A and B are shown apart, each in its own frame.
Chain A
């Protein structure tokens, strides 16, 4: 029997698997009803502008450093001198996936799920909610990791490696954002109309389309570049000094506690009256919300088809529509079948003495002031430079003091939240 097995293996061959390709954002594609032809054309345009995982391409317009990308791209291997190449595939791909969609092989087993870069939205950064993270923000995430999640710290890597990975994350993010922009462009302006015409997406043949694609890319790149100037700098005069007396700190903590339970900041409403994160757990973050809405619409479509199919008196156009809808449902169901279990956004348990986005006072200040992009956590500071704020800087620093004092309160010692979906919290 061993001989049979060996013979079969020899016959099939021990071929190296093909290099993995980038895949498309099927949720976006199917929810915008992008036809198969357009899907292929969009894949080709993305392949042209961003290359493949083994051979990245970065147009000068993107401002990405080709050398840094080259170190992160490609298969993981090290040369004679021990210089590591293919950094992304060595360190990141198993969680974040080859396209940066957060669906690497280990993705489904992690809580929280790994980040999907393709929307260009990142939670832990020092910029205003509307803005991208800065290079420093991403660098800090890689260096510090995200405690309380599966994201490790990569501070033992040489700085140049971390820089190279940051560049590659931006590259994957821009690629994902351009994909969404192209899907919208195809839906809004090309696409099939009922009179049967189809304008192909072919920037090689059509200079106007080429210009439009570059415009779309330029908007995306501009956001990334603008972010570098958008770090929230707290008002110097309001920053509490390092040499406060214990009485001053206690007073600040007391004020923070009032604000926590008050109606301006409303922290207790989601984080819970005892700050265990048990106040409200029926919202989703933006990444899960997209999937949840997709699922709900798919179920609604299925129900509608069921109701219509059971009706006997159908005219021709209704029959045709029903058939069309059945095909749409099949495509949507394919995508729904790939979803990981959709999880609610659980507000943070503030009594744990570690913070995902950084444990400096400034990091907590940023979380409260700007909120956390992509999540239900709102901002109470100015939404952009000079905008009106819900809370003053001083009030936010009071909250920072309160939040950072919570782990040291006696009730904070090993308490479990009493909530129905305990398995989603840790």
Chain B
């Protein structure tokens, strides 16, 4: 008894063709992106590792870095073009308190005279390179850097943390709960702590992160801060009027990274006669007992993804 009526005539040929194509082509999965390990290359690399006797990583004998003097770096970021209007944030939590502060998106903050704030400039030493630190930076009783939950935003919005300094996270909003969520850290221990009005939370970091990390508050999800943690103090965030200065740097040619939260690496910016690379990197020479003044650094709106 035929339970299934088979299509007759030409239709069956097409059906068979379809079946054949399916069998031959296979059922391609939607995601098969990216390459797969190549067996012979993997074998070759594995042999190389097999041959390595691991006795632990040897500490680099610290070489006396001869410093040919100290200099400083300064400049001012200027936003080119029409700055995007600062959008108001819709306050979904604690509106009685947070709503009072007229909070706005701070992704691209431009001053009245065009200064671009919250852009990072930091030294990028090579792996294993010991960076000479000027004694001014390593004073005993070094003060902590303060990150404050205040007015339902982070103050400051962008900051740098030298590993010699502890980071003190405060909550200055009376009667408002904040948690500071630092789970995007790469090399340092991730954290997500409630911060009370009474006692700040102190963190001490030990490793350099390769870029600024985004710190958030889960209770007030619009709150964001960008924190750069490095093992050397040569880093800075541009102030409200776009200016920045790093003092007491070891003289010589160094690589710097230019970074902004809107686009991460600031690429294609003209700095000191050169252009920042795709990773926001550029080589600059710091003069001994002098100052490298980069002057006004133009940041076109296209460079910030505008």
Contacts and interface: CB of A to CB of B under 8 A. Distances in A.
Interface stretch (A63-71, A235-243, A380-388): A380-388
A129 B190 contact: yes
Interface residues of B, number: 71
B19 A280 contact: no
Interface in B248-302: 268, 275, 277-279, 281, 302
B150 interface: no
A158 B219 CA distance: 43
A388 B201 contact: yes
Interface stretch (A53-61, A83-91, A141-149, A406-414): A53-61
B76 to A, nearest CB: 24
Interface in B158-184: 175-177, 179, 181, 183-184
Contact of B92 (A49, A202, A282): A282
A373 B177 contact: no
B43 interface: yes
A246 to B, nearest CB: 31
Interface string A317-334: 110010000000000001
B112 interface: no
Interface stretch (B48-56, B67-75, B134-142, B237-245): B48-56
A269 B19 contact: no
Given A188-B210, A193-B277, A24 B35 contact: yes
Nearest to A384: B189
Interface string A261-279: 0011110011000000000
A282 B221 contact: yes
A23 interface: yes
Contacts of A317: 268
Contacts of A23: 32-34, 36
A199 interface: no
A358 interface: no
B305 A39 contact: no
A380 B201 CA distance: 11
Contacts of B210: 184, 187-188
B302 A308 contact: yes
Contacts of A214: 49, 52, 54, 57
Interface string A22-36: 111010010001001
Nearest to A49: B49
B31 A103 contact: yes
Contact of B193 (A52, A318, A378): A378
Contacts of B30: 337-338
B57 A378 contact: no
A283 interface: yes
Interface stretch (A2-10, A109-117, A164-172, A248-256): A2-10
Q: Which range holds the interface residue count of chain A? A: 35 or more
Interface stretch (A74-82, A204-212, A359-367, A418-426): A204-212
Contact of A44 (B38, B92, B175, B196): B38
B100 interface: no
Given A193-B277, A210-B52, A304-B305, A22 B37 contact: yes
A12 interface: yes
Contacts of A4: 13, 16
Contacts of A334: 33
Contacts of B194: 264-266, 378-380, 390-391
B37 A21 contact: yes
A266 B202 contact: no
Interface string B108-150: 0000000000000000001100000000000000000000000
B89 interface: no
A198 interface: no
A309 interface: no
B196 A264 contact: yes
A370 to B, nearest CB: 9
A16 to B, nearest CB: 13
A388 B199 contact: yes
Contacts of B6: 1
B63 to A, nearest CB: 17
B41 A44 contact: yes
Nearest to B38: A44
A383 B201 contact: yes
A92 interface: no
A77 to B, nearest CB: 23
Best-buried of A21, A321, A371, A378 by chain B (most CB within 10 Å): A378
Contact of A45 (B16, B31, B45, B302): B45
Nearest to B197: A263
Best-buried of B41, B127, B197 by chain A (most CB within 10 Å): B41
Contacts of A280: 92-93, 219, 221
A218 B126 CA distance: 20
Contacts of A353: none
A29 B277 CA distance: 19
A106 interface: no
Interface in A264-302: 264-266, 269-270, 280, 282-283, 286, 300-301
A133 interface: no
Contacts of A60: 54
Contacts of A219: 187
6 contacts: A47-B42, A214-B54, A263-B197, A373-B192, A377-B218, A391-B194
Interface of A: 1, 4-5, 8-9, 12, 21-24, 26, 29, 33, 36, 39-41, 43-49, 52, 57, 59-61, 103, 121, 129-131, 184, 187-189, 191-194, 202-205, 210-215, 218-219, 263-266, 269-270, 280, 282-283, 286, 300-301, 304, 308, 317-318, 321, 334-335, 337-338, 371, 373-374, 376-380, 383-384, 387-388, 390-391
Given A48-B41, A121-B190, 12 more contacts: A1-B13, A23-B36, A39-B35, A44-B42, A47-B42, A49-B49, A189-B126, A214-B52, A265-B177, A266-B219, A377-B192, A391-B194
List 4 tightest A-B contacts by C-beta distance, closest first. A47-B37, A266-B177, A376-B218, A47-B42
